[in-house]
Amino acid sequence: MATWLDAFLPAFGLLALGALLRAALLTEEVVWAGMERLVFWVLLPALLVSAISAVPIRELPVGGMAVAIWGGIGFGTLASVLLARALGHGHAAMTSVLQGGIRFNTMLAFAVATGLWGERALALGGVSAALIVPAVQVVITIAFVAGGGGRLRPLALLRGLLLNPLLLACLAGFAVSAAGGLPPGVRPLLSVLGQATVAIGLLCVGAALSPRVLVSGLGTIGATGVLKLLAVPGATGLLAAAIGLDPLATGLAVMFMAMPTATTAYVQARAMGGDAPLMAALITWQHLAAVLTLPLWALLLQSG
């Protein structure tokens, strides 16, 4: 019980604190927008580079994790599109269901993973993020552009991906690892920045959750939640078992895929023509449900 409290109470406590601060103390939207940019452009990239570069690439089961994670994303993508069609949704709502079905909360993932497995989870957590982020962004960008009747431009898509700081940080981490690691002085700097990532990031996530959108589209919200929080990580775990992935790598892959959808999905839905109110409801309900589902996955993974 103490291990679970150590893993989950800090993470969800920071979410609750972020919501409280947003409502009572730091009420200005510009404050949170600035912190979100700091996390997205500086702190989280620093954490990814530091984590991935810490262990030689040849010692990490990147290939096996790629099979499990990309297979899970492929399953989630197909299931999300079919679910949206079965529920009679148009393109805008479909893109929100898709984001709700395959995106994940990076900050919460790192917080829970390190709480469960300690510092040894950072490198494989970085690999998980490196495999998930670009794959998900490619799928979502194609869905927004092609499904909305627009013409898919490969160069524009490539440019958008290569300007993604999280993707660049993952690539940099792999490159530095292959080159032998970070030089003296740089590792402590990135480590300090990375330590600030989880706390500030989770406060921002909590501040972004909205209690005002909890009562609309409950059928879609429930079905998408079951898909994201149970079916997609389940499919990832089955693939990991089928290829014989080791327990720690399996645990990291499944736990990252079991995370509720990213709060930044709302911004992307609003900017690219998705159903923003539905996206906000999906984000809020999934984070509430994850209070129950994530400990269940932890129990399953640690007893396996």
Q: What are 34-53's pLDDT values in tens digits?
A: 888 888 788 888 888 887 78
Residue type present at position 40: F
For the chain, first and last CA: distance in Å? 17
Q: Could you confirm whether domain 2-303 is CATH 1.10.3430.10?
A: no
User: Residue 212 — pLDDT band, cuts 50, 70, 90?
Assistant: low
CA angle 65, 69, 70 (to 5 degrees): 115
Q: Does 227 score more than 90 pLDDT?
A: yes
Q: Does 9 score more than 80 pLDDT?
A: no
Place of tokens 């059928």: 219
Q: For the residues 57-83, what does the mean pLDDT come to?
A: 90
Q: For the residues 49-73, what does the mean pLDDT come to?
A: 84
- Average pLDDT for the chain: 84
Q: What percent of the chain has pLDDT over 70?
A: 89
Q: Does 275 score more than 70 pLDDT?
A: yes
- Do 119 and 18 form a contact (C-beta atoms < 8 A)? no
Q: What percent of the chain has pLDDT over 90?
A: 28
User: pTM score > 0.75 for this model?
Assistant: yes
**Where are the chain's structural domains?**
2-303
CA angle 264, 196, 31 (to 5 degrees): 55
The first and second tokens of residue 168, run together, are 């660049």
Q: For the residues 51-59, what does the mean pLDDT come to?
A: 74
